[in-house]
Amino acid sequence: MTYVICEPCVKCKYGDCVEVCPVDCIYEGDDMLYINPDECIDCDACVRACPAEAIFIDDEVPEQWAAYIQINADFAYDGKSPVTSKDDVVKGENWDAETAAKAPQ
Ligand code: SF4
Ligand code: F3S
């Protein structure tokens, strides 16, 4: 089992999830964040932290986002450091404030 970050994180990247992960297994890509399935301890903390409701346990990922199970697994984790502070999440040119604003609070 592992938890999976899905499409609502794309161009959103609130970053609240990294603040609560007890094992620091969340990593940042250009458009979204990813959970390393080899490190996640299935604690469930990040699910409740994400304002965009982007995170699901793998066997409950909505059908339309099923590809994100593999997308999270395939992220190039080697040599990268996890993100541990929301302040370190880079909301660069790909970040879409309009998308973020639509996320449920
Ligand atoms: Fe981290 Fe727990 Fe979320 Fe896994 S389920 S990514 S260990 S906060
Ligand atoms: Fe993304 Fe939600 Fe974390 S939008 S950065 S999964 S808090």
CB–CB of 83/33 below 8 Å?
yes
- Checking if the pLDDT of 85 tops 80, the result is yes
Does pTM top 0.85 for this prediction?
yes
Please tell me the distance between residue 90's alpha carbon and the centre of ligand 1 in angstroms. 20
User: Is residue 92 over pLDDT 90?
Assistant: no
Q: Which residues pair with 27 in a beta bridge?
A: 34
CA dihedral 7→59→20→13, nearest 10 degrees, is: 0
- The reported pLDDT for the residue numbered 97 is 63
Closest among 61, 60, 25 to 43, alpha carbons compared: 25
- Selection from 84, 91, 100 nearest residue 8 by Cα: 100
Pocket test for ligand 1, best of 1, 3, 4 (most atoms within 8 A of CB): 3
Q: Judge contact between 86 and 24, C-beta under 8 A.
A: no
Domain that holds residue 38: 3-101
Any idea which ligand is nearest the CA of 103? 2
Q: Which atom of ligand 1 is nearest to the CA of 55?
A: 3
Judge whether 71 and 29 are in contact, CB under 8 Å: no
Number of domains the chain is built from: 1
Give 27 Cα–ligand 1 centroid separation in angstroms. 11
**For 29-75, how does the pLDDT look when each residue is reduced to its tens digit (9 = 90+)?**
989 999 999 999 999 999 999 999 999 999 999 999 999 999 999 99
* Other CB atoms within 10 A of residue 16 CB: 15
Residue 69 belongs to a domain with what CATH number? Answer: 3.30.70.20
Question: What per-residue confidence (pLDDT) applies to 105?
Answer: 45
Ligand 1 pocket by Cβ (under 6 Å): 3, 20-21, 23, 25-26, 35, 40-46
